[in-house]
Amino acid sequence: MANGTAFVLGATGQIGRVAVRALAADGWRVRAASRSAGRDAGWPGDVQAVAVDREDGAALGAALGDGCDVLLDCVAYGREHARQLRGLADRVGSAVVISSGAVYEDERGRSFDTQGEPDGFPAYPVPITESCRTVAPSDQTYGTRKAALEQELLAAGDRLPTTLLRAGAIHGPHSPLPRELYFVKRALDGRPVRVLAWRGESRFHTVHVDNLAELVRLAAARPGSRVLNTGDPEAPSVAEISAAVDAVMGVRSEMVPVDGAPPRPGVGETPWSVERPVVFDTSAAERELGYRAVTGYAESLPPTVEWLTRELAARDWRTAFPVLAGVYPGLFDYATEDAWLNATRAKAT
């Protein structure tokens, strides 16, 4: 039974690939838009691939044609994209837009933007609800631009009902920022230890792309003007993530917990390592949309590990994942890690 027409921007990205499949399975007639007009092997044959550069407003309008019942934007970022979508409101029934948990700030005004400052990491409530404070919208940073995106779209809710999904640490195959690589590559390289700052207790709430796609599917069927947190059913600690990856790869490693911050650059600092927990409350999505996670963190890992292993077999990790390498250039500084381990063990004897 058809639900109507869906137009997906960023369809060949990590989120879009899965969301297209979920919408099509739910009966939507999907047009999948990307710069390349590419296709994913998991899409049904009636999904229409469309070539469009979303930065070109005229081209986007032409590709949209007579419009759609729901528009999913996986790559919206800042006021410009929000105003672009608002300009299409007369041809779009409702929208679902991917935002970010980076919009939140704590009661002292600390956010992800201040984490590099002394005592700059935010002390969020546990869990964070959608009513918590957000950073001031501007064009300055990732978080402030996502806040500007949200503000513009919520203000247009009477003309374009939009569900904004605030995501944390997105994971799954085809990620440009695959945090799991930190442990997968160590296992492949035969590293016997996992040095973890903050005693491996850091929690940065994960969300698998299948769970995001489920929220997209539900929001598409229930239009509204709202913001909703997203997340896996659990927020695993770094130590739990390490053990889960080891289990999938059939290896055993020794965890070396570090009290407090990384002792030196390149030692103990994983892509989830945070001084204080970042955990999202997803109960609003459960109440408003009937959301139930379709997978958990550990059970979702095997396809991700398989994909990462295949990518690493073909090329250097920095070539395979340039975005990750740019954000975390010292992920695999084994020499520095070994020097610290040797010095630490020498002191203990």
Is pLDDT at 1 greater than 60 in this prediction?
no
Three-state DSSP class for residue 123: coil
The count of domains in the chain is 1
Q: Specify the CATH number for the domain of residue 341.
A: 3.90.25.10
Q: 87 — phi, psi (to 5°)? A: -70, -15
Is residue 337 situated within a structural domain? yes
Q: Which residue has the tokens 């979920």?
A: 22
Is residue 212 situated within a structural domain? no
pTM given for the model: 0.96
pLDDT 10s digits, 178-205: 999 999 999 999 999 999 999 999 999 9
List the domain range (segments joined by +) for residue 307: 174-205+235-276+296-349
The pLDDT value given to residue 2? 64
pLDDT 10s digits, 62-98: 999 999 999 999 999 999 999 999 999 999 999 999 9
CB-based contact 183:312 (threshold 8 Å): no
Give percent above pLDDT 90 in the chain: 97
Is residue 323 situated within a structural domain? yes
CB-based burial, 55-92: b 16+ in 10 Å, e otherwise: eeeeebeebbeeebbbbbbbbbbbbbbbebbbebbeeb
Q: Which of 274, 289, 283 is nearest to 217 (CA)?
A: 289
Tokens of 133: 């404070």
Q: How many residues does the chain have?
A: 349
